Amino acid sequence: MDVRKMLSQAMELPKSKLTGVHRLSELEHWDSLAILNFMALVDANCGLALSPEQLLECQSIPDLEDLLARAQSMSHESAHQLN
């Protein structure tokens, strides 16, 4: 699932409000509840468990996209090691 779509759902904002490279701290609805909602959406849609600390390290939407890409890559590597 698209990071911006999950972010818009987590913050209950239209996806159109998330254009450009925003600093997460500048987004009015980026708060602890949005972080928990985003974590739940990532888990439900991608099967990835992110920590609040990982999300708090992200400064921008592209940072979130990079975090998810890295987490998906690590998840794939772990699955291959089990086989």
Q: How far is CA 8 from CA 13, 34, 48, 73, in A?
A: 5, 9, 18, 24
Q: Is residue 18 part of a domain?
A: no
Q: Which of 4, 23, 24, 2 is nearest to 13 (CA)?
A: 4
What domain count does the chain have? 1
Domain span at 54 = 3-13+23-82
pLDDT tens by residue, 7-60: 999 999 888 888 766 789 888 889 999 999 999 999 999 999 999 899 999 999
Question: What is the domain-level CATH number for residue 72?
Answer: 1.10.1200
Note the pTM of the prediction, 2 decimals: 0.84
One-letter amino acid of 55:
L
